[in-house]
Amino acid sequence: MGRKIAVISALQEELSEILQLMPDEQRVPIGGRTFWQGHLQDHDVVAVLSGIGKVAAATTTAVLLERFEPEMVIVTGVAGGLSMDASVGDIVVGTGFSQHDMDASPLFQRWEMPGYGRSRFDADPVLVQVLQEAAKDAVTWLPKLLDAQTMTELGLHRPHVHQGDIITGDRFISTAADSNALRAAFPEAWAVDMETAAVAQVCHDHGIPFGAVRVVSDRADEEAHVDFQHFLNQVARHYSARIVRKALNLL
């Protein structure tokens, strides 16, 4: 007996590849979003495009949980590599999520979420393990998808899978100065994006297990805007579909 699982993507390219795995998907428009219901790996699946940014991600997740009542939520997509050990093509399986632009001081400690007494939301440990195995499969499979020349052109050498924190903010990080500042403030963070921590907060509010996996598309520096779209089209959209299919097979 399968489960009811929700998959959230931030970008259309990622979502399109996942929908191709769901031949019976049905379109359900709600609140300016389109939700897709179907089946994948014997599970009932709801897939949705969140849009970019924390507000878009939070509103999408709230509607998703209220209307479709999934048993768990998975976010997949791309992110900027923050750790010095995170290279383009690596995959980060999130273990904790914080908002790097949250600052209600002096009323609260910097980065603390008002009303929560915390600055970090944890990933579901079962989903962490499942996504870890799915990500390992994806990095092994990638050289079979791309030839050696394409791997070299994209700067992909030997992609690795990492577990660690992912931080979120309403800003595309595209300078070395900004990434250095975030690295100093969040030494445990492996990647930075614009949606994940917002989704984690809404899932926390509803008591729904949550997991996230992000593919490093750029180094969050001056070349980020150049690398991002190219990597998304050539690699990340295929990665996302492979990871989701494998993860659902393991659940």
Residue pair 232/89 in contact (Cβ under 8 Å)? The answer is: no
Token output for 35:
């939700």
Residue pair 203/209 in contact (Cβ under 8 Å)? The answer is: yes
On the CB side of 206, CA atoms within 13 Å amount to: 22
Residue 11 phi, psi dihedral angles, 5° rounding? -125, 145
Q: What residues act catalytically?
A: 14, 218
Per the listing, tokens 């994006």 go with 193
C-alpha torsion sign, points 127, 133, 137, 139? positive
